[in-house]
Structure 1
Amino acid sequence: MLDFNIEGLIPKNMEKRGELVLNEYLKEIEDVFNHRKIPENGIDDEKIKLFLKFLSMMDTDKDPKSVRIGEREARTYSKIHEELSSGFCHGIGRSGNLVDPQPKASGASIMYALTNKILESFFKQLGLNVHAIATPISTGMSISLCLSAARKKYGSNVVIYPYASHKSPIKAVSFVGMNMRLVETVLDGDCVYVPVEDIENAIKKEIELGNRPCVLSTLTFFPPRNSDDIVEIAKICEIYDIPHIINGAYAIQNNYYLEKLKKAFKYRVDAVVSSSDKNLLTPIGGGLIYSTDAEFIKEISLSYPGRASATPVVNTLVSLLSMGSKNYLELVKNQKNSKKLLDELLNDLSKKTGGKFLDVESPIASCISVNSDPVEIAAKLYNLRVTGPRGIKKTDHFGNCYLGTYTHDYIVMNAAIGVRTEDIVNSISKLEKILL
């Protein structure tokens, strides 16, 4: 595309040497275009900036001879606007389809198509052979897109929701105007969960009432709420031929969740929603939707109204290019080690305080029972500059995901991807000072 004539300006040997350096510098960028997959090793920031600049310069708002008289011409008042959007001021998509190429935004359209190709290759590296799109909206709103697509394609009008005390998916159902049937949790030892047979009974009841249900299951959540048994739910949804959407907000960062997804995809899973910030270390505001059903992914993209900001998608692309598959797998390994350390330290602390390390299966978070107000303990941790822990009272029906009285007051602490070893050690040290 670029053809600079430098012949005769410098000696031939210097010309060849310069071209060698330039070609070597641009090789990683060229590989992104040619191979359209996540690089094994991350690309440095300067090259990513050049890559984004190159694409954004293809949009019509960069054309010095363009006569722009439309109501949407990517006019910006401040240079900061352009910097914050990486130059993609026209955004992505068209009013009828999120992934449609936009005539005024050739570069942004290429950027988005490349992002989705790279995202799919990333999932393939993780063992998930899926179709995927990066969305310019976070998890809750991405779930609403999936539900809207289920309503349009399958006529779904009721959402079967195994209860998890998370406002985003509950609001997502309300946002698309669908009714919800909550399936209540039960208590088993320290664990709160929803029996699969209760989910099936809820499906039967809705079908008997003449409704067309779909299931919104939860794969990732705070303990003591266990993950839903998405494999068994997927089997049930296949039997009853109803859509199944999975909320897997932070499912990509741990093999425990990935293995469950691999098994569930053998049955009925229409789409999984994950967060870009929780998994790919981006600023908040982006989502990842993936499925083995290419047609349903297309239906989801058709559910998005209007154009969208390119910035959340650019953030996803930047993370994928910057980390590369090798570094990401290393982060996944570190996350597993961090969780092991968190468990060991909390277990030791529980013995010192006379509390209990709660026996709940979670690869991300851990719980310890406390003998004083857990909300106050969490507040004290916050004042000691420790962010993240949740303090839940046993009478807090919402926080426990359980409508009865839970067995313990407790503190939940996380060891999510990107956490530092020193942060885990320091947080437990400060918690110990509060409890003892």
Structure 2
Amino acid sequence: MLDFNVSGLIPKNMEKRGELVFSENLKEIEDIFNHRKIPENGLSNEKIRLFLRFLSMMDTDKDPKSIRIGEREARIVSSVHDELSYGFCHGVGRSGNLIDPQPKAPGASIMYSLTNKILESFLKTLGIDVYGISTPVSTGMSISLCLCAARKKYASNVVIYPYAAHKSPIKAVSFAGMKMRLVETVLDGDKVYVPVEEIESAVKKEIELGNNPCILSTLTFFPPRNSDDILEISKICEIYDIPHIVNGAYALQNNFYIEKLKKAFKYRIDAVVSSSDKNLLTPIGGGIIFSKNQDFLKEISHCYPGRASATPIVSTLVSLLSIGSKNYIELMKNQKSSKKLLDDLLYDLSKKTGNKLLDSESPIASCISVNSNPVEIAAKLYNLRVTGPRGVTKTDKFGNCYTGNYIYDYIVMNAAIGVKTEDVVNAVDKLEKIIL
């Protein structure tokens, strides 16, 4: 595509040397176009910027001879707009389909298609052999898109939701115009979970009532709420031939969740929704949806109304190119080490203070019981500039995901991907100062 004629401007030996350097600098970018997969080693910021500018320069609003008389012509009032969207001012998609090429935006359309190809290669690197799309909306709205697709393709009208106290998926069901049937949690020691047999019973009852149910399960959540048994739920969905959407908001950063997904994908999972910011360290605003069923993914993209901002898609692409597969595996290892450190520190603190490190299967978050108001403790941590911890009282039925009183008041702390070791140490140190 690039054809620069520098012949005769400098001596031939210098010309060849310059062309060699130029080719070497462009090689990584060419590899992205040619192989369409996540690079093993991340690209530099300069090369990512160059890559994005190459593509954005292909959109019609960059054509100096373009005659633009439509109502949607990527006219912008400030260069800051251009910086925020990285030049993809026309956005992505068309009014009828999120992933359709946009005639006014050849560069943005290539960028989006490449992002999805690179995303799929990233998932394959993690051992998840699926189709995937990057979405311009966060987890809750991405779940809504999946539910709308289930309603359209399978006439689903009731969502069976094993109860998890998270407002986003609950609102997603309402936004999709569907009814919800909650399946209550039970308490087993410190852990809160939803029995699979109760989920199956809810499916049977809805079918008996003449409804077409689907299941929205939860893979990732704060302890003491356990992950849903998505393997058994997938078997149930296969037996009763009903859709299964999995909320796996931060499922891509730890092999504990990845292995659960790989096993469940052998049965019925129509789509998994993950967050780009929680897994790929992007700004908030984008989602990831993946599935074995390419047709269902297309149906999901058809449910998005109108064109979309390219900015969340660009953010996902930038992270994939910047991190690279090799570094992401290292980040996953560091996350696992950070979680062990958090558990060890909280266990030591529990012994000092007569509290308990709660039994939890979560590979991301840990809970410690406290003897005073946990909400006030969390507020004090916030005032000490510690962000993230949650304080939950034993009577908080929403926070506990449990309809009865829980055993303990407790604090939840996370050791998610990208956390710094010193932040884990300092957070627990400040907690100790508060509760001692």
TM-score by length of 1: 1.00
Residue 48 (structure 2) pairs with residue 26 (structure 1): no
Residue 92 (structure 2) pairs with residue 92 (structure 1): yes
Equivalent in the alignment of 2:149: 149
Equivalent in the alignment of 2:219: 219
**What's the secondary structure of 2:259's corresponding residue?**
helix
Equivalent in the alignment of 1:333: 333
* Alignment partners' CA distance in 2, 1:280 and 1:423: 19
**What's the secondary structure of 1:289's corresponding residue?**
strand
The CA deviation at 1:4 is 1.1
**What's the secondary structure of 1:323's corresponding residue?**
helix
Equivalent in the alignment of 1:363: 363
Q: What letter is aligned with 1:365?
A: A
**C-alpha distance after superposition, 1:14-48 (max 9, x if no partner):** 11000000000000000000000000000000000
* Alignment partners' CA distance in 2, 1:265 and 1:103: 36
* Alignment partners' CA distance in 2, 1:2 and 1:338: 46
Equivalent in the alignment of 1:286: 286
Q: What letter is aligned with 1:279?
A: N
What is the aligned-residue identity percentage?
81
Residue 432 (structure 2) pairs with residue 432 (structure 1): yes
The CA deviation at 1:235 is 0.3
**C-alpha distance after superposition, 1:278-307 (max 9, x if no partner):** 000000000000000111011101110000
Equivalent in the alignment of 2:322: 322
**What's the secondary structure of 1:411's corresponding residue?**
strand
**C-alpha distance after superposition, 1:210-237 (max 9, x if no partner):** 0000000000000000000000000000
* Alignment partners' CA distance in 2, 1:274 and 1:374: 29
The CA deviation at 1:9 is 1.1
Q: What letter is aligned with 1:434?
A: I
Q: What letter is aligned with 2:301?
A: S
Equivalent in the alignment of 1:420: 420
The CA deviation at 1:360 is 1.4
**What's the secondary structure of 2:37's corresponding residue?**
coil
**What's the secondary structure of 1:54's corresponding residue?**
helix
Equivalent in the alignment of 2:265: 265
The CA deviation at 1:244 is 0.1
The CA deviation at 1:8 is 1.0
Q: What letter is aligned with 2:356?
A: K
Q: What letter is aligned with 1:286?
A: G
Q: What letter is aligned with 1:205?
A: K
**C-alpha distance after superposition, 1:263-288 (max 9, x if no partner):** 00000000000000000000000000
* Alignment partners' CA distance in 2, 1:307 and 1:42: 30
Q: Which runs of 4+ in 1 moved over 2 A?
A: none
**What's the secondary structure of 1:274's corresponding residue?**
strand
The CA deviation at 1:184 is 0.3
**C-alpha distance after superposition, 1:100-146 (max 9, x if no partner):** 00000000000000000000000000000000000000000000000
Q: What letter is aligned with 1:372?
A: S
Equivalent in the alignment of 1:176: 176
Paired residues for 1:293-304 under 5 Å: 293-304=293-304
* Alignment partners' CA distance in 1, 2:348 and 2:121: 41
**What's the secondary structure of 1:283's corresponding residue?**
coil
Paired residues for 1:54-203 under 5 Å: 54-203=54-203
Equivalent in the alignment of 1:311: 311
Q: What letter is aligned with 2:387?
A: T
* Alignment partners' CA distance in 2, 1:66 and 1:249: 42
Unaligned stretches of 5+ residues in structure 1: none
* Alignment partners' CA distance in 2, 1:351 and 1:370: 12
Equivalent in the alignment of 2:17: 17
* Alignment partners' CA distance in 2, 1:296 and 1:21: 45
**C-alpha distance after superposition, 1:304-356 (max 9, x if no partner):** 00000000000000000000000000000000000000000000000000001
* Alignment partners' CA distance in 2, 1:44 and 1:10: 29
* Alignment partners' CA distance in 2, 1:358 and 1:50: 49
The CA deviation at 1:389 is 0.2
Residue 229 (structure 2) pairs with residue 234 (structure 1): no
* Alignment partners' CA distance in 2, 1:429 and 1:366: 15
Unaligned stretches of 5+ residues in structure 2: none
Equivalent in the alignment of 1:49: 49
Q: What letter is aligned with 1:10?
A: I
Count, aligned residues: 436
Backbone CA RMSD of aligned residues: 0.3
* Alignment partners' CA distance in 2, 1:87 and 1:218: 37
* Alignment partners' CA distance in 2, 1:2 and 1:424: 49
**What's the secondary structure of 1:40's corresponding residue?**
coil
Q: What letter is aligned with 2:144?
A: S
* Alignment partners' CA distance in 2, 1:222 and 1:359: 12
